[in-house]
Structure 1
Amino acid sequence: MQLLKYELLKIFQQKSLYVIFLFLLVFATLIADFPNVDLLKKDVYHRWEGPLTTEKVQQAEKNYQVLSKGFNLENTAFTLTDLSKLGMYEEIAVLHSTESANEKQISNIKNEHHYNSELQINMLQKVDHLNYVYNYRGPQQMIDFISFLSFLITGVMLLIGLSSIFSREYSSGVDHYILSTKKGRKALVWAKLGAALLYTLSVVSTLELYNFFITIIRIGNEGWKAPIQILFDYHRSPYAFNLLEYHLIQIGLHLLAAFGFALLILLISSVNKHALMSFFISAGIFAFPYIREFTQVQWLKTLLSFSFPYVMKVKPLFVDFQTVNVYDYPVLLPIMAGIIMLISSVIFILMIFKVMEHKQVTT
C-alpha cells in the first residue's frame, strides 16, 4: 500500500499536469460556451414540449416555411430567437420522419436475409418514445462533450501523466535497486498499475463532474428520458436507450478504453528508457487511427473502429447498426469493442510483467 501511495504521489506531483489540465478545461469552456443561445433554445423547447401530434407537426412545418423565407445572414432583423425556432421546427420534422423511417426500415429488413437481420429487427422494434418533443439540450451537451472533447483531453492527460512512469526509473538508475528481487519487481509493477488506473479514473471522473456542473449552470438537467434517436447524429441508431441510459454506457466504455490506453502507455514506458520517446510513441498510436477518416478500405475502417480513441469517443459505435460476424453469429459493435478493450488490457498487463521479469534477469 505504501508503494502504491508513493507511485500516486510521483504522478500527481507533476506540476505540468495541473497547468495543462486547467488550460484544457478553459479551452473546452470557451469553445462550448454559448449561454445566450442555449437559454433561448430552452425557452423555445418549453413551448413545444409534449406529445408530437399531427397538428403540432403541421404547425411546425407552416411556421418553418414562413420563418425560413426571412432567413438571411445579412438580415439584421433575423434574431437568435428566430434561429432557435428554425432549429426547433427542423428537429420536429426529423423526429416525425424518424418514426416513419423506423417502420419502413423494419419492413425492408424483413425482405432481406442477412445473418444479422433478425437482431436488427428486434432492436428496432424496441425503439419507442419517438412521438414526444423533449427539452433535451442539457443531456445532449453532456453526451457531445465526451465524444467531442472529453476523449481528447483524457488522451492528452494520460500521455503527459503516464509516459514517464517506468522511464524515469531507468534514466535515474533507481530500477537497479527496486528490481533487485523478484518480490520487489512484482510489487513495483502492481503499484504502478494501480497508480496508473487510479490516475485514469481521477481524470475521467473530474471531466465528468466538470461536464455535469457546467451543463447544469448553463442549460439545466431536463430531458434524460428522451430516446437517443432524438439526437440528430443518432436518428438511425437501433439502440432502445434513453439519454440517461446511453450516457451511463458511454461513460463506462469511455473509461474502459481509457484504462486500456493507460496500460498501453505503461507497456511502452516499460521498454523505453527515454520518457520523451515513450510520449511520442504513445501519442502516435493514439493519433494513427484517425486515418480512418481518409481511407475507403472497409476492413481497415472496421479494424480502426476498435482503436482506443474511437472507443473512447463511444459515439461511432452507436450511431448505426453495426455488427461483427463471429461464425455467422452477429456481435454488436459496442459489445465487441468492450471485449477487445478487456482482452487488450489483460494482454498489456501480462506483457508488462514479462518485460520487467526480463529486465531483472539481464541487469
Structure 2
Amino acid sequence: MKGLISFELKKIIRKRSTVLIIIAALFICLSSIFLGAMTETSYINETEKLRGFQAIENEKNLQGQVRGYLTEDYIKQINIEANQNNPKYWGVLPAIGVQEVRIPNIISDLNSGNLNGIYDHILKGPSTDQPRPVGTNNEVKQLTNMYEKVRGPFYFDYYDGWERISTSFSISIALVVSAIIVICLSPIFSEEYSQKTDAIILTTKYGKNKVIMAKLMSSFMFTIAIYILFVTVNLIFHAVIYGLDGGNANIQIHGWYYQSPYHFTFLKLTLFSMGLSLIGLLFIAAITLFISSKAKSPFITVILSAAALYIPKVDVSEISHTADIVLNLFPINIMNATEHFEIGVFYNLFGFSILQPIMMIFTAAIISTLLIVFTYKTFKNHQV
C-alpha cells in the first residue's frame, strides 16, 4: 500500500504544472506580505508619520511602552498620563473604551433582549433594512454568557504580527492555496478517463480497492503538505517583519473584533483560524476529488471545482440572513476564518443553538466523509 501511495503522490508532485503553480502561489503570498508591510504607517505626532519597516518598529516601540492588563488602577494611571496628541496612547485608549463601555453596553442590550444591537455596529455597516437573525432565548443566553467572560481586564500589547499572520494566512489559503488544490487534484480520477487508462486500472488486482484508496490518501497527504508549507512560510516571514509580541493580547483591542464574544487572545485566534483553514482546505479537496470521479476530463473538473470554491463567496447578506449563513458553511468561507469571530453567529439544529465555527467543523466533516465514500464507489463502479 505504501508503494501505491508513493507512486500516486509522485504523479501529483512531479507534474510541471504542480511545480509552477506552487511557485506562483508562493510568489503571490510573499509579495502580499511585503507589500502589506510597505504600506504600514505610524505617527510620530499629528502631522509627521513613518512608513514601511520604520513604521512597524515605531508602533512596536510605542505600544510596547503601555503593554499590560487594563485593570482599574492601570487605567487611572493611563488617564492621568495620557495626552490625546501623544501617539503612545492612541492604541490603548480605544481598548479601554471597549472594556469600560462597549462590552457592558452589549451585555445590557442582551439582558433586555436586544440582539440586533450588536448588528447595528458591525464594521460591515449593514443598512437598516438588512435581514437580521431572530435570536432565540437560548442564543441570547449563550451570547450573554460569552460576553460575561470577555469583560476583562483586557491585556494590551503590540499585536500586529499575530493579527497579520491570522488574517493574511486565512485570505491566502482561501484564495490562493485552495486554487493549488483544485488544479492539482482535478486530474486524479478524470485524467484516467480522458487517457483511457481507467480500463487498465480497474482490471488489475488492486484496481478496485487499494489503487482507489492510494489515490485518495495521496491527495489528502498532498493537501496537508501544501498547507504546512504555506503555514511555515507565513509564520517565518511575519515573525521576521513584525515580530511575535502580543500573542496574549485580547482580540477585542483590535477594531474588527471590538465586540467579539470570543474570549480569545491573538495567539488563540491564530490557532483557531489555522485549524479552520485546514478543515476548509480538506473540504474543497474532497469536493474536487468527487467531481474528478464524475467528470470525463481534468478541465471540466477544474471548472466545476472552481465554481464550487468561489461562487459561495458572493455576499447575499442584504438579501437573506439565512442564505448568508448557509453559504458561510462552504469551503472558501471556512478557510477565510478570521471573518467569523467578529460577532457570535448561531445555527439552530434540531432545537440546539450551535456556534458558527463548530457548525463549520461539523458540516465539513460530515459532507467530506460522504464525498470520499461516493468518490470511492463512483470510480470503483465505473463502467469502462
Q: TM (normalized to structure 1)?
A: 0.87
Partner residue, 1:80: none
Partner residue, 2:62: 44
2:177 aligned with 1:154: yes
CA 1:332–1:55 in 2, change beyond 3 Å: closer, same or farther? same
Query: In the aligned structure 2, how far is the partner of 1:54 from the partner of 1:22?
Result: 52
Give the counterpart letter for 2:228 in structure 1.
S
Partner residue, 1:24: 25
CA 1:131–1:173 in 2, change beyond 3 Å: closer, same or farther? closer
2:304 aligned with 1:271: no
Runs of 4+ with deviation above 6 angstroms? none
Query: In the aligned structure 1, how far is the partner of 2:234 from the partner of 2:222?
Result: 18
Contact 1:49 1:132 in 2 (8 A): yes
- Cα deviation for residue 270 of structure 1 reads 0.8
Contact 2:316 2:323 in 1 (8 A): no
Query: In the aligned structure 1, how far is the partner of 2:318 from the partner of 2:284?
Result: 23
Query: In the aligned structure 2, how far is the partner of 1:149 from the partner of 1:57?
Result: 40
Give the counterpart letter for 2:241 in structure 1.
R
Partner residue, 1:56: 78
Contact 2:220 2:282 in 1 (8 A): yes
Query: In the aligned structure 2, how far is the partner of 1:40 from the partner of 1:218?
Result: 13
Query: In the aligned structure 2, how far is the partner of 1:347 from the partner of 1:134?
Result: 45
2:266 aligned with 1:248: no
Give the counterpart letter for 1:28 in structure 2.
C
> Any gaps of 5 or more consecutive residues in structure 2?
38-52, 114-135
Contact 1:128 1:240 in 2 (8 A): no
Could you give the per-residue CA deviations for residues 274-293 of structure 1, whole angstroms, max 9, x where no partner exists?
11111111111111012225
Q: Once the two structures are aligned, what percentage of the paired residues are identical?
A: 24
Query: In the aligned structure 2, how far is the partner of 1:337 from the partner of 1:146?
Result: 18
Query: In the aligned structure 1, how far is the partner of 2:209 from the partner of 2:262?
Result: 43
SS of 1:325's equivalent? Answer: strand
SS of 1:320's equivalent? Answer: coil
Q: CA RMSD in A?
A: 2.0
SS of 2:209's equivalent? Answer: helix
Contact 2:66 2:92 in 1 (8 A): no
CA 1:326–1:237 in 2, change beyond 3 Å: closer, same or farther? same
SS of 1:324's equivalent? Answer: strand
Could you give the per-residue CA deviations for residues 236-295 of structure 1, whole angstroms, max 9, x where no partner exists?
211112122222221111111111110110111111121111111111111101222575
- Cα deviation for residue 61 of structure 1 reads 5.5
Contact 1:289 1:304 in 2 (8 A): yes
Of 179-188 and 243-252, deviating more is 179-188
Give the counterpart letter for 1:50 in structure 2.
G
